[in-house]
Amino acid sequence: MEKKVIIGGVASILVVACVVAACVTLTKHDAETSSKGLATSTKSVQSMCQPTPYKQTCEKTLSIAKNVSDPKDYIKVAFEATVTELKNIIKSIEPIKKAASDPYTKDALLACEQLFDLAAEDLRTSITKIQNFDISMIKDVVDDLKTWLSAVLAYEDTCLDGFTKKEYSETREKMAKLMNTTQELTLNVLYMVDSFGQMITQTTGLTRKLLSNSDSIIEASNRKLLQISSAQPNAVVSADGSGQYKTIKDAINAVPKKNTKPFVILIKEGIYKENIEIEKDKLNVVLIGEGPTKTIITGDNAVKNGGGMTTWHTSTLGVSGFGFVMKDIGIQNTAGPEKEQAVALRVNADKAAVYNCKIDGYQDTLYAHSNRQFYRDCNITGTIDFVFGAAAAVFQNCKLIVRKPGDTQNCMMTAQGNVDVKSTGGFVIQNCDISAEPEFLATNPAIKAYLGRPWKMYSRTIIMQSNIDAFINSEGWAPWNTTDFGIHTCFYAEYQNRGPGATLDKRVSHWRGYQKDISGDTINKFTADKFINTNPQWLPVADIPYEADMMMV
């Protein structure tokens, strides 16, 4: 734990230092009077910290360096200061871990350790990216950094989510206090990177179009990706023993760490009762089944299963490794509505694509946790918040199907979870079909169902060019637990939808977060190519159909 937390916090400071170094380098030639003093003066530190929300923390971190001329010295001083701070935090965490007696608290603390480790890895990736970047690619570098920093914010927040119930409030308060500085540092870096990107774009005029080098390079990259689906599998899984492996876990274990090429695993027809985790170092894993009703991965972990488990650990399949692709597979969590949160699929991998899959559950079916994700031609079923998380995720031509919930429950399709206005996440639901199962429609009195609700303060969901059936409540969107939380800070939009549930005249127009008169230019920012397909472009992939812009529907 100590090593993991130190790396995470140090990495946050290193990103700050690297951004400072980049700014020093870029602005050094602007004026002779500032070329020598920018890296050392209090004024330069204050300037660097100006866009951040926690200026005192920022200035304290960066102003430790005195008489510095080499930006590397900033990194050294920041490293030392952060290690000192984190040693104090780690000493404070130990009593909490030792005092935890109930299984749930132990599981929540274990989840926090894993989440910190994931955050640290994203920050290490960020450091490598910013140390090696070419100024001509700054826009895309900034996009990557903002995506990964948004993921770090989500990991930190997910740790605290494990202690939301009243009986764990004391532990939550302790963890929040211990994590306060780390969260401030992460937000500060996100704001610095965002401001840095805007400054470079404004002063140089660089745009993604200019940065793409040539269409031929992108096309060559796409051709390479498209070969995945026709490649011979690296591993074959068969429940009857006719393949190389009888379990999917064993096949995943065979994937080399830091794998640089698609590792294709063919999963033959069968029901696989497994809880699978594709770790952060298992890159470019491709799972291909024989059809979403033939190749089925199933589990029943749930928060209320009696075993003491957080939502993070309930997933039947959890994916952290970059470049994940899944086709023609069914994923289930069969715990049922009475067991509360029970995830079928959790994805926090960056640049992940899911095609022609059936994702079935009840509450919290699909945990689109963080980073960039693409779903095409998938069926997703559930009851409460059954598409949730903080990812930047685009859903095209999917079927979102509401199921009958437990007694006294209403249904919410989405619960997007951006924790800050600068977070890059959001759900874009394009040309999808929003419907309900017959069992839901047959209830009397009718159960209320909504397009979504603001799980976090800056929740963002866009539904466009989709069919919405009549069962959706005329208000469209629901508040979080009947409060005003997030209703004026969220970003909810509907555009060019169809069907009897798409009528907008009774929507929640009094919410300032509801975009009742959204323009086509604004909506265009949420098309797949602009929202998630940053350079080097990663879509289309593996023969998965893909619409870059608005569809002809």
The DSSP secondary structure of 266-289, one letter per residue, reads: EE-SEEEE--EEE-TT--SEEEE-
Task: Write the pLDDT tens digit of every residue in 286-336.
Answer: 999 999 999 999 999 999 987 789 999 999 999 999 999 999 999 999 999
How is residue 422 written in tokens? 């600068």
* pLDDT exceeds 90 at position 385: yes
CA atoms within 13 A on the CB side of 139: 18
CA distances from 307 to 241, 341, 361, 362 (A): 31, 13, 19, 19
Nearest residue to 197 (alpha-carbon basis) of 137, 252, 269: 137
Burial class (CB in 10 A: 0-12, 13-18, 19+), 177: exposed
The amino acid occupying position 427 is F
Average pLDDT over residues 98-102: 78
Catalytic machinery residues: 385
Task: Write the pLDDT tens digit of every residue in 4-17.
Answer: 444 444 344 444 44
CA atoms within 13 A on the CB side of 529: 10
**Domain residues of the chain, as ranges?**
13-22+37-204, 226-530
88: how many CB neighbours lie within 10 A of its CB? Answer: 10
Helix H or strand E encompassing 188 = helix 169-204
pLDDT at 301: 97
Query: Which of 171 and 44 is assigned the larger pLDDT?
Result: 171
Task: Write the pLDDT tens digit of every residue in 335-378.
Answer: 999 999 999 999 999 999 999 999 999 999 999 999 999 999 99
Task: Write the pLDDT tens digit of every residue in 413-437.
Answer: 999 999 999 999 999 999 999 999 9
Task: Write the pLDDT tens digit of every residue in 265-277.
Answer: 999 999 999 999 9
Helix ranges restricted to H, 63-137: 71-99, 103-131
With H, G, I as helix, E, B as strand and everything else as coil, classify residue 54: coil
DSSP secondary structure string for all residues of 152-179: HHHHHHHHHHTT-SGGGHHHHHHHHHHH
Task: Write the pLDDT tens digit of every residue in 141-169.
Answer: 889 989 998 999 999 999 999 998 888 98
Q: Which CATH superfamily is domain 226-530 in?
A: Single-stranded right-handed beta-helix, Pectin lyase-like (2.160.20.10)
pTM above 0.85, yes or no: yes
What kind of architecture, by CATH, is found in domain 13-22+37-204?
Answer: Up-down Bundle (1.20)
Query: What residues form DSSP beta bridges with 401?
Result: 381, 435
Do 226-530 and 13-22+37-204 fall under one CATH topology?
A: no
